[in-house]
Amino acid sequence: MGLAKYLNELPNGSSFQQGLGHPGDDSSKTSAFANAFATAGHTWSASLCAEKFPSSTMTNGAAFGDPCCTWKKGGTPDFTVTAFTTSPTKATTCASSSGTKSSTASSSASAPASSSAGRLDLVILGQNGQKLLELTASTTSVRDLWVQTLEELYLPGQSEQNEEDAKNLNEKMEKQQEKQNEQYWKDRTQELEKRRLDAEERKKKIGVIGMKYTAQAMAKR
């Protein structure tokens, strides 16, 4: 793992030494990351990039300066990181300000980065670089729609707009509730009035019948 041919397969690999793959520079020992790297065929891929760095809360991409998981061998990583062995220093985050085309969006960034042409996978990272969600679209157009939606959600001022929308919605709901309350009491009043009129009508009928029987009784005397 410490050999240059392997380190060159990693973002910022030229900054690292043998200790990254062999703790204490002991070639008889292999680090957890070296094992994961070997399993991946000693190749930097989107899946390896999105995996969590051993004993860390950040992804491999966030640790090695490729939080958007777009780096290719021979290219320049989004960020330059300080070399480490077993514990990454500070997580890098994927954001549109990096100016890269990305297949990964960060929930801590002001806006997710744009999509890479032909990519179907979409990985969403947290502010510490941890993988929150990984999706695979059926077509590139569907994936582009996902990215566009995320970008719209993270546009500057969107939070203020969301608060304003929530306030307007709350006001509408309160007005609707007031109307419902008014209609309820109106219906309730009409119902009580109808019951009162029905009761008076029944009393009148009972009174008429009583007078009829009284008249008949007096006539028989």
CA 134 from centroid of its chain's CA atoms: 12
140: left (phi over 0), alpha (psi -120 to 50) or beta: alpha
Asked if 17 and 83 touch (Cβ cutoff 8 Å), the reply is yes
User: What's the helix, strand, coil split of the chain in %, to 5?
Assistant: 50, 10, 40
Q: Which of 8-12, 86-90, 189-193, 217-221 is predicted least confidently?
A: 217-221
Domain locations in the chain?
4-156
Q: Which of 60-64, 153-157, 193-197 is predicted least confidently?
A: 153-157
What would the pLDDT profile of 43-62 be if each residue is shown by its tens digit? 999 999 999 999 888 999 99
Asked if 143 and 120 touch (Cβ cutoff 8 Å), the reply is yes
- Is-above-0.75 flag for pTM? no
Percentage of the residues of the chain whose pLDDT score is greater than 90: 19
Q: What is the mean pLDDT of the chain?
A: 76
Sign, Cα dihedral of 85, 128, 156, 46:
positive
Here the tokens at position 3 are 């050999």
Parallel/antiparallel/unpaired status of strands 131-136 and 121-125:
antiparallel
| pLDDT number for residue 100 | 38
Please compute the mean of the pLDDT values over residues 122-140 and round it to a whole number. Answer: 71
Asked if 132 and 126 touch (Cβ cutoff 8 Å), the reply is yes
What would the pLDDT profile of 79-110 be if each residue is shown by its tens digit? 888 888 888 878 888 864 333 333 344 433 33
Helices (H), 78-157: 140-153
Residue 77 and residue 75: Cα distance in Å, rounded?
7
